[in-house]
Amino acid sequence: MKIIILKGDITKVKADAIVNAAHHTLMGGGGVDGAIHRTAGSELIEECIQLRKDKLPDGLKTGEAVVTKAYNLPAKIIIHTVGPRFYSDNLDLLKNCYINSLKLAEDNACKTIAFPAIATGAYGTPIEKSAEIVKDVLDNYKSNIIKEVILVLYSDEYFNVYNRVLKE
Ligand code: AR6
């Protein structure tokens, strides 16, 4: 898999799968979740409400992932995953977010997948730790389906940390 590190807004990135750092209720929120819901449009929340009713009455567990359509995003699917809260959850769960998202991308025949830095905003994970976990997952994940993984960072600082850690 080719790894690309990009600075910018993930809602503008063209990829088969876009990953959302979601709230466990799947009802939207701030940060990247808010941006994805705004850009995808209101059909996304309708699908999430239906998903909660049909399959996820208690919401999505931390580290797990689920697929919806992408609506107005330039993607085929959105993969929603819930990151751990740094001060109260086990950070190993962040690894699960990435692995479960990659698996769902493969299940949906996606050749390209774009990730934000899950759990590094409202959920407080230091960007260095995030970069180390992402490097570990991507170094060990082999795929015949996914050709390109795009890591999208929202600030220069986060972009620089990812470049340093992932290219070590
Ligand atoms: N494109 C790419 N990255 C972004 C964008 C964007 N448009 N906007 C923010 N980021 P966060 P979390 C970066 O808080 O920590 C939500 O309210 C941001 O700089 O979006 O997993 C949910 O509903 C940071 O590096 O997600 C949950 O309640 C990264 O995305 C909760 O926040 C993640 O920040 C999830 O918190």
Give the per-residue pLDDT at 123: 98
As for ligand 1, residues whose beta carbon falls within 6 Å of it are 9-11, 21-23, 29-33, 35, 83, 116-123, 152, 154, 158
pLDDT surpassing 90 at residue 168: no
**Ligand 1 atom closest to Cα of residue 123:** 15
Taking the CB of residue 127, how many other CB atoms lie within 10 A of it?
Answer: 18
| Residue of 85, 98, 150, 154 best suited for mutating to test ligand 1, as the one with most atoms within 8 Å of CB | 154
CB atoms within 10 A of CB 42: 11
- On whether the CB atoms of residues 51 and 59 are closer than 8 A, the answer is no
Q: Is it the case that residue 122 has pLDDT exceeding 90? A: yes
Average pLDDT in the chain: 98
> Helix (H, G, I), strand (E, B), or coil: what is residue 4?
strand
Pocket test for ligand 1, best of 18, 20, 32, 38 (most atoms within 8 A of CB): 32
The string of pLDDT tens digits covering residues 2-33 is 999 999 999 999 999 999 999 999 999 999 99
Q: Is residue 135 a contact partner of residue 40, using CB atoms and an 8 Å limit?
A: no
What's the rounded Cα separation, in Å, for the pair 2 and 135? 13
Share of the chain above pLDDT 90, in %: 99
pTM of the model as a whole: 0.98
DSSP state of 11: G
Compute the average pLDDT of residues 126-135: 98
Q: What percent of the chain has pLDDT over 70?
A: 100
Domain residue ranges of the chain, discontinuous segments joined by +: 2-166
Q: Mean pLDDT, to the nearest integer, of 72-90?
A: 97
Domain range 2-166, CATH class? alpha beta
